[in-house]
């Protein structure tokens, strides 16, 4: 009887266990989670229901105090996540976007730019500062960017305002250490290593219990710079970044080989102008920041007189901070981006390759901005945030949107620059004030040719002029076959000025000029470069030129990957002031080029043989 009762109890217990286990399994089967197909995260219908999204904001405490109040700065953060992360305990990876632009920007009026009409080697006219920015932020959402794209694919979206902007504490430093450490603090909080608080000054803590601890970052322009800045801190949990047209060095943004040079479209901008443009933070703290950062550190370090590289600029060059970096890197840039120029991505990509960091680069033929195709971004984040083995590491390293490609259908290459490209050196033959020649065989005793500086004419107008004293131009024979240029062209120039300083501008162009209505100005510009002959020995130390004395200087032009079609000629144009980019002194300075001491090396797929075949 006792055995029968025991057997009955065991059977009953087993039945309850089976029923309970089946119930749990049924609940698990009903739980919603990410879905993957062909190595990409798919849209999950349940995640698309915006009514079930949970939105909230908080402040994350950093390790610095840059607004002088004696307290550690806190960054304003917002979170948007699927309801399942709350009601079902679902944990998901995070896509994080940080920006100085989310809460309002300053005036874009030219009244608050430097007056570039000035003589070289002289202090710039006094900068007029704009009215203070009126913050427009409304809690709890800082931004809605990227939410509709990524949240339905199984990600939590996080935004933050960078230091000294919006409701974040601190001072904007435009590339200073705090702009790297601020996103690091947010990632530390997402991984449980830093404190988040419900209010800006309170002590009630918030935890990111819904995060898997895997974080990816992306953004465009300044918003693309911040992911790189965060990655240079080697913060644990930042697994992958996709910077789009990032500014990777503020010296390369506002200077060029010793020359004071504006970013395209923003003539007269400099780093303190950008500071004013983004400084939307606490009104009561702005006076301190203006005094210490803008009128202190920046004014002392930026040097608009010589344009020399120095420690101030070195501290705002992320290439110098890459040694700790480990986050997988997918970069995107436009070859015709004359704002944040294409060198910004290439210099970082090149170093990442040397370091063995998983890397890919996507280049298109348009201007500023332009993300990689969605499938590339999806595969990248799926691999490194969700951990799905989709073979992205075996994909082509470089993706180039060819001249007739659709933006989302780039051509794959083994790498960039094209490994089949090799340097071809071209020499100059006299021809001023019309056209000289550009040939691969060196021509002896070509002598010297002189141009007269005059900013009244644009670079594009000078390239199209049949005859002018304001530029020198040297053209190749007409191409009978297409030529593929891939990489960085380097020019060695031997020149003299009749004054202690002169602007030096160099364009590589494709002629004849395309004048059709649908043509873009940049269709005929292969690449550009600018330099200051006063820096012929060193970027850190310039010296005034002795009038009439020749100096030799070698410098790189902007990276490019372009197919020059048959029927065109490759033209090298040398001139002085570039009215769209440089300071603009009074016309009249004479710039003399020693043709025998000047050459340009162009990376051509197939090298000298390909070029020789193209001009036969």
What does the DSSP 8-state code read for residue 317? B
Per-residue b or e along 336-348, where b marks 16 or more CB atoms closer than 10 Å to that residue's CB: bbbbbbbbbbbbb
Q: Considering only CA atoms, which of 601, 615, 595, 608 is closest in space to residue 428? A: 595
Among the listed residues 380, 387, 390, the one whose alpha carbon sits nearest the alpha carbon of residue 357: 380
Q: Which residue has the tokens 């100096």?
A: 551
- The answer, yes or no, to whether the previous bond of 417 is cis (omega within 30 of 0) is yes
| Phi, psi for residue 353 in degrees, rounded to 5 | -60, -45
Biggest CA-to-CA distance, the chain: 120
Residue with tokens 């002795």: 546
Backbone angles phi, psi at 382, to 5 degrees: -60, -40
* Angle formed at CA 531 by CA 530 and CA 534, multiple of 5 degrees: 165
Closest CA to 293 of 187, 207, 202, 176: 176
Angle CA 25–27–32, to nearest 5: 115
CA-to-CA separations, 484 to 87, 514, 601, in angstroms, rounded: 56, 19, 14
- If we measure between CA atoms, which residue out of 259, 224, 218 comes closest to residue 239? 218
d(CA 497, CA 487): 30
**Joined tokens for residue 64:** 């610095």
The helix-helix angle for 222-231 and 178-190 (nearest 10°) equals 70
For 59, the enclosing helix (H) or strand (E) is strand 54-61
Distance CA 176, CA 279 (A): 14
Q: Active-site residues: which are they?
A: 221, 337, 368
Q: Say how far apart CA 319 and CA 351 lie, in whole Å.
A: 8
Q: How many CB atoms within 10 Å of residue 202? A: 9
Beta pairing class for 448-452 and 590-594: antiparallel
CA 219, CA 166: separation in Å to the nearest integer? 18
Report the alpha-carbon distance of residue 194 to residue 126 in Å, rounded: 43
Return the SS3 of 603: strand
CB 118 within 8 A of CB 584: yes
Q: Are 371 and 332 in contact (CB under 8 A)?
A: yes
């Amino acid at each position: 009887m006792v055995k029968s009762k025991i057997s009955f109890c065991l059977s009953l217990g087993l039945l309850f266990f089976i029923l309970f286990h089946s119930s749990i399994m049924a609940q698990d089967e009903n739980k919603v989670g990410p879905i993957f197909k062909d190595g990409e995260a798919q849209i999950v219908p349940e995640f698309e229901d915006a009514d079930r999204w949970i939105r909230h904001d908080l402040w994350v405490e950093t390790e610095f105090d840059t607004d002088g109040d004696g307290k550690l700065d806190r960054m304003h953060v917002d979170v948007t996540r699927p309801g399942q992360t709350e009601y079902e305990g679902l944990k998901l990876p995070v896509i994080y976007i940080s920006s100085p632009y989310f809460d309002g920007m300053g005036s874009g009026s030219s009244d608050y730019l430097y007056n570039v009409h000035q003589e070289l080697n002289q202090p710039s006219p006094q900068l007029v500062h704009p009215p203070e920015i009126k913050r427009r932020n409304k809690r709890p959402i800082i931004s809605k960017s990227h939410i509709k794209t990524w949240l339905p694919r199984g990600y939590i979206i996080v935004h933050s305002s960078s230091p000294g902007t919006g409701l974040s504490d601190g001072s904007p430093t435009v590339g200073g250490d705090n702009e790297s450490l601020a996103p690091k603090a947010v990632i530390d909080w997402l991984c449980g290593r830093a404190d988040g608080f419900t209010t800006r000054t309170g002590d009630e803590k918030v935890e990111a219990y819904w995060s898997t601890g895997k974080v990816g970052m992306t953004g465009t322009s300044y918003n693309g710079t911040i992911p790189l800045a965060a990655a240079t801190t080697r913060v644990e949990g930042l697994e992958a970044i996709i910077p789009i047209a990032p500014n990777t060095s503020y010296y390369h943004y506002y200077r060029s080989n010793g020359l004071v040079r504006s970013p395209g479209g923003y003539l007269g901008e400099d780093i303190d102008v950008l500071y004013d443009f983004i400084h939307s933070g606490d009104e009561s703290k702005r006076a301190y920041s203006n005094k210490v950062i803008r009128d202190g550190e920046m004014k002392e370090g930026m040097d608009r007189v010589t344009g020399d590289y120095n420690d101030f600029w070195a501290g705002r060059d992320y290439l110098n901070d890459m040694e700790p970096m480990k986050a997988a890197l997918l970069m995107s840039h436009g070859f015709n981006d004359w704002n944040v120029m294409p060198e910004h991505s290439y210099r970082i990509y090149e170093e990442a390759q040397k370091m063995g960091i998983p890397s890919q680069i996507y280049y298109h033929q348009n201007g500023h901005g332009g993300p990689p195709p969605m499938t590339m971004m999806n595969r990248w984040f799926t691999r490194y945030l969700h951990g799905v083995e989709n073979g992205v590491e075996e994909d082509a390293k470089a993706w180039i949107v060819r001249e007739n490609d659709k933006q989302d259908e780039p051509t794959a290459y083994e790498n960039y620059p094209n490994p089949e490209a090799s340097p071809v050196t071209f020499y100059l033959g006299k021809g001023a004030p019309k056209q000289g020649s550009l040939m691969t065989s060196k021509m002896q005793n070509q002598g010297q040719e002189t141009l007269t500086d005059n900013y009244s004419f644009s670079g594009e107008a000078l390239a199209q002029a049949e005859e002018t004293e304001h530029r020198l131009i040297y053209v190749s024979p007409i191409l009978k076959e297409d030529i593929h240029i891939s990489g960085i062209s380097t020019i060695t120039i031997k020149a003299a000025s009749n004054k202690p300083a002169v602007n030096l501008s160099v364009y590589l162009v494709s002629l004849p000029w395309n004048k059709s209505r649908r043509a873009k100005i940049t269709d005929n510009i292969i690449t550009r470069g600018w330099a200051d002959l006063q820096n012929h020995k060193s970027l850190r130390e310039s010296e005034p030129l002795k009038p009439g004395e020749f100096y030799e200087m070698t410098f790189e032009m902007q990276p490019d990957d372009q197919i020059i079609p048959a029927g065109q000629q490759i033209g090298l144009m040398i001139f002085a002031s570039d009215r769209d980019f440089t300071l603009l002194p009074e016309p009249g300075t004479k710039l003399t080029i020693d043709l025998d001491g000047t050459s340009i090396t162009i990376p051509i797929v197939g090298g000298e043989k390909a070029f020789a075949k193209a001009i036969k």
